[in-house]
Structures are given as C-alpha cells and as structure tokens.
Chain A
C-alpha cells in the first residue's frame, strides 16, 4: 500500500511534463501525416505522398486530434469544473496513446509485408511510430483518473437525439468505409484505428454519456438504427460485393438471435442449431417450385415461411421432449448428435438409400428468386438514382425478418414467460417449486428458437439459390454459438455485434482464412478470461458471472429500477405518491 502511494507521489510530480509530452507526441503524429509513410505505392492504399494525406491518413489525423485534446485538456482546464472532474481525461489519454502506437505499428508492419521489407517505410511511418511510443510512455506516467461520471451530464432531449443521430451516422459511415477497403493491410489498419478510437472514447467516458442518451430515447434509437440499416444500400452505389456480405451478416444475426433465446435466456446449450436453419431451407426449397424439388406443390411464400417454421419447430419438439428433462451437458451432446444426424439424413434422402427428397449431396439447386406480392427479388431497380440490386432486396427483407425476431425476443423477455426463464436459469428447482412449468418453458424456448431459425432458413434457400447438406455442418453451429457468447448472451445488441464481427472479419481478412479457426479459438479463450459476459453484457448475466462484485450489484439494481420505471410509468408514479 505504502509502496504504491510513494510511487504515485513520485509520479505526481511529472504529471504536467507527461501532459506536455503527450501533446508533443500528438503534434508529431500530425506532422507524420504530412510526410510519406511508404516508398512504394501499393501498401495501405497508397500513403506515399508529401503533404497530401490519403483517406486512411485522414482517419489517423482524427485520432491525433482526439489524443491532442485528451492530453491538452487537463492543461487547459486548470480550474475545477464539471468538464474537468466528470471526464476521465487521463485514462482516455493513456488509451489514446496505446491506440496511436498500435495503429502506427500495424501501418509499418503492413508496409513492410506488402512492399517486401521495412526498407520501404519512409520517415513519416517512423515518426508515427515514435509519436506512438512517446504518447504511450506519457500515458503510462499519468495517474489514472477516477471512473468517469459523464452519465450525470444533463442534456436536453434535442441534444440527446442529435448525439444519437451523429453517433449512428458515424457508425454507418465507418461501416461503409471499412467495407469499401479492399486491401487487407488497409482494412487491418482501419480496424486497429477504429478499435483504438472506440476504446479511448469509452475510457474517457463519452460512451457513458451516449448510453445515457440512448437509455432516455430508446424508441428513437431503435427507429434510427433501423433507418441507418435501411439506408445502407444507398451508400453502396449499386455495388454487389459489400451488399452480399451485409446480407449474409443479417442472415447470421437473425439465426444467432434465435439461438440466443435458447442459450442466452434459458441457458440451454444447443450445439446443433444450424440443423433447424437447414430444415427451414430444405422445406422452403422443396416447396419453391424448383425443377430439382420433389414436391409438386408451390404455395405462396408467406405460406412457405410458416410451413418451414413449423417443420423446424416440430423437429425441435422431437429433440427437446426426451432431452429437456435432463440437465445441461446431456442436452449439448444430444443436440450435437442431432446436427450430425440431420446432415447425414439429408445426404441420404437421394432415392437410393431412402425416398428421394433432397437429391442427396447435390441438394436442391436452381431455387427460383423469391416472389412476394408479385415482386421478384431478383430484379434490380433504381431508387433515388441508386441501383438497388438483388442483394439489396434480400437485405431489406432480412431486415424485416430481423426486426420481427427482435420483437419476439424483447416482448417474450418482458413477460411472465421471460421471468420464468430467468427463474429457471437462476434456480430450476426453486422455480419448479414455485409453480413455474419449467419443462414447458424450456420446450417453448427450444421450439420457438427452432421456429425462428426455420423462418430465416426459408429466406436463405432463395438467397443461396441452392440448398445442399454441406452448408449446414457443425462448424456453422459452433460459429453461431460463438457469436452469441462473444456478443453477450441474452442481449439483442450484443448478438448483433458478435454476429457482425464473426461474419465480417473473415470476409475482409482473406489472408488469414487458413488461421481463422485458430484465431476465433484464441479470441474466445481471451473473452472467457477477461469478459465472460460478452462484449455487450446483459445486466443480470453480468452479475451471474461476477457473483461477488457488490459494487456491480448496486449499479445493476439502479439500471433495473430505471428499466422498470421506463416500462411501468404508472407504477413509478404511484410509488412516489406513497
């Protein structure tokens, strides 16, 4: 104790010098942007000019300005005040320093690898590295600030909505820009930059304030988020490359959200979830009127969706009824086996080993484009001067499906059924002894999750054009589960983030496709060690993982009260009257 106090005292003397050093580092970084980073033109989308920064370097410049503010603000704000005391400048500065160093190192490494040697790194690159080292060192000398209290800033409603709008616009712009980067090195550079920037802003407390704005305007936020997603195709100028990735992300998210009901809300480990998606896809393909389908009935798509969902949920009931009476591990093994049985069965329904329904490993090909209310999803059309292609059509459809799944998820969670699920997760025996139908509720989650997967699968059959058994393998189940665990079990936002990360990274970082599994494994191990509740955590889940943390418990309690008052304004009022 006394040791740390003395070393803190010793450090305290150098605070001003550290702030000044940080400012110098940021200025150095700004200077570096004006110099060429690389001799060759190929690396990082061309960073080889004097005085003419590339778009990537402009991003880096933005980071420099923010770091400059982090280090400079405490020098400028000498007097006490809410801006000095509620914002965690020092912690922000420290993470800004890390971000500078990391980005500069990625840049230098990228140039070295892509141009064939560090010889190609020009002075600008080295100055950026030096600036990063200086900023990191200065940040390490700084005493960490107290936790930010930016949530207590009073902001008028219009200010909050403006903040949400700006935040979402930034996300849309960043996503569109990142998707547009074709060079792996440039993408990695941008990713490091974005992560570093986000971490810095989180640490300084900006996100605390944004979260407060979001919590006060939940409806606006949800509406705006969907609006942003809806507008995304317009940023793509009719290019299909990114739209196809974005649509796949939506498919993946929708399926992961369905899995989240089973895993996140009730706590049942399902390792064969992809089979339900496959069942929906095969059902839909068989009823699609494809030449390769063996069922000569072609109902309208609305009917097909329902049939697919029902077929999947029947399979869910079939698996769930005998296994849900036993606890966790057995269910994991049975569902794992079920996933395999599904794949092998689909492979064998080829006419020689059984009835011919799926054409065996060839699958059902040439599934026609989806037609809904006379609109063909394969047709491109022009809207506001932008060509909206096939992928954008499916993107919008999946956006609607995703919204429906979110409504199901959130409304169930906020009902008697959701409370029953939480009770089962907390203490199954006590729940049963309090009259909760534990078996029925688990079965409902299992069959309901399967239904949603079936719905997503029925659209996916049309999107993929062909449905084959080897699209629905165990690996896909594992990725879905990873998305749920990585993002945050039991939350909508978390799963969307997790699914996006897991789907987007392999698409953009082709060069590591061989090491993909290894990297995901490592990522999950690190998550389990440092943040087992996921990127965006459900408050209750967070408590379950940190049972001894009393401070966290108090905090969560506050949030639950706010949540309760938000959804039961009358109850809150009567409480006040008493």
Chain B
C-alpha cells in the first residue's frame, strides 16, 4: 500500500470534536429524534445502532445540516455547526450515504476530485484564462485524489465510470470522496449494507486505517458483529431516544437493547435460546 496520506488537519490529541446536546427533530406531530445527546472525541470510532425507524439517519441528517434540528445544539470543534451541508463539510465533517449517491456518470477519479472542490479556490476567471493557480490546484487535486484512491484500494480503477464499479468498490469510492474533503470526522451511514463477509472485513480494516490517520469516525450500522468489533463506544437509539450508551460489550449485553431488537420474551425457558 502507498504511504498513508495526511488527512487530519487538527492534532489527534483527544478532546471532544463533535458535541450534540439535546437534539430534537420534530416533523409536525412526529418526534423522530428526541433529546439526543452524543459526543465524539478525536481519534475515536463511535457506533450508532438501533432498530429500523429508530431515527438514526434523521439524527445524521441533523448533524450534517440536511435538517435543522427543532431544538438542541450541535458544536463541532467548539464552534456551533452551521445548518447547511456545504458549510458542515467545510467545517470538517464529511459523510457517506445509506443508498450510494455517487456521481454515476463520472469516473472514480472525477468523483474524488469533486470532493476536493471545497478545499480549492480556483474561480471562473482563473479557469477561463488557465492562470497558474488553476493549473497548480488542478494538479494538486489530481495527485491527492489518486492518493486517496490508492488508500481505499481503487488506484487501478481511477478511470472507470463509477456506475461500472462493483458494489463494494462503490462504497469504498464514496469513502474516498468523503476523505477528499479533508474531514476531521467521517460519518458513515451503513457502510457495509449489502456486503459479503469478506467485503465487510475489508471495510473494517479500512475504517481502522482511517482512524489511524487521526480521524474520528461515526458509524451507523446494523451488523452487530461488525459494530462491536470496530467501535470504542456505541450508542443505541430506540424510538428517537438514546437507550444505552457505553463500550461495545456493555451495550451488547444490555437486556433493554436485546428487547428493543428482538422483543420481550414472554416465557423464560431454563436455557434461554435467544441470540
């Protein structure tokens, strides 16, 4: 593998990076997210689990500026987070999507280069006149994007249209595109959905390598084995509220979590055969 690119701009010395305090998202009479508080520290991998419809993605959207929370506050690196997706990216938080949203008719390289957009400054006049700034930034963006493609293992597919990539590669390309925005915190919305065990293991490895670059990662996932292997801390969200928070094994063995996922056993057998 090529040398790991420098991704994190801030120091990775710990300290709270993302702090969401009492976030509530109300759609008319429906409270999708209620009083959720969560914090992510630098260099930490945090998991967010919960049954379908628990409000995980809604909460994600509140963090990334797609929704403006009804009440509550979100700060990022000590600054209140602006409620526009573009400004969130600029502040240093990038995301992937649950349903892959690549630019399908662009090549893998071009996709990643779109991620570089917010860190480059070439304006229309530079571009029309091909001024030195345009050429320098274009070269740098290309180099950096190739580096990132190599980092996620797609260096050989730089010129493949993203729609022609296999599913697992598309997921990895989406991560590379998010990394291209130089984030301090990466939000992954179900990064292993639809993957086979082999691909899941590769994704796990990739997320660890991203953490080793000094980034914090927040993962939504359904695959329990994956999430408990990976995460330093896990939040379990049920019906829009945080049910349990703690280290992986604590959450895993909490009866309320098991109940939320599987249901309450009516008759308890002597050797309960629940999973």
Contact = CB atoms under 8 A, between A and B. Distances in A.
Main secondary structure of the interface of B (DSSP, over half): helix
A293 B115 CA distance: 51
Contacts of B123: 417
B178 to A, nearest CB: 7
A446 to B, nearest CB: 12
Given A416-B138, A419-B114, A543 B122 contact: no
Contacts of A418: 127
Interface in B156-187: 158-161, 163-164, 177-178, 181
Contact of B127 (A415, A430, A575): A415
Given A411-B130, A415-B122, A435-B181, A430 B101 contact: yes
A417 B101 contact: no
A433 B103 contact: no
A411 B107 contact: no
B105 A412 contact: no
Interface string A495-509: 000000000000000
Interface stretch (B15-23, B36-44, B83-91, B243-251): B83-91
Nearest to B160: A557
Contacts of A554: 164
B89 to A, nearest CB: 3
Interface in A540-557: 540, 543-544, 550, 553-554, 556-557
Given A411-B128, A557-B160, A432 B107 contact: no
B153 to A, nearest CB: 14
Contacts of B102: 427, 430
Contact of A416 (B106, B117, B159): B117
Interface of B: 64, 66, 85-86, 89-90, 94-95, 97, 101-107, 109-110, 113-120, 122-124, 126-130, 134, 137-138, 141-142, 146, 155, 158-161, 163-164, 177-178, 181
Nearest to B95: A433
A519 interface: no
Nearest to A415: B127
Interface string A415-451: 1111110110011011111111110000010001000
Given A411-B127, A427-B101, A430-B101, A437 B86 contact: yes
B105 A426 contact: yes
B93 to A, nearest CB: 10
Contacts of A423: 103, 106, 114, 117
Contacts of B129: 411
B242 to A, nearest CB: 25
Given A411-B127, A427-B101, A435 B161 contact: no
Nearest to B181: A435
Q: Interface size bucket, A side? A: 35 or more
B105 A543 contact: yes
Contacts of A420: 114, 117
Nearest to B64: A433
Given A419-B113, A432-B85, A557-B164, A426 B103 contact: yes
Nearest to B113: A419
B114 A436 contact: yes
A433 to B, nearest CB: 5
B103 A435 contact: no
A381 interface: no
A430 B138 contact: no
Interface stretch (A210-218, A297-305, A560-568): A560-568
Interface in A5-20: none
Interface string A169-194: 00000000000000000000000000
Nearest to A565: B159
A220 interface: no
A434 B94 contact: yes
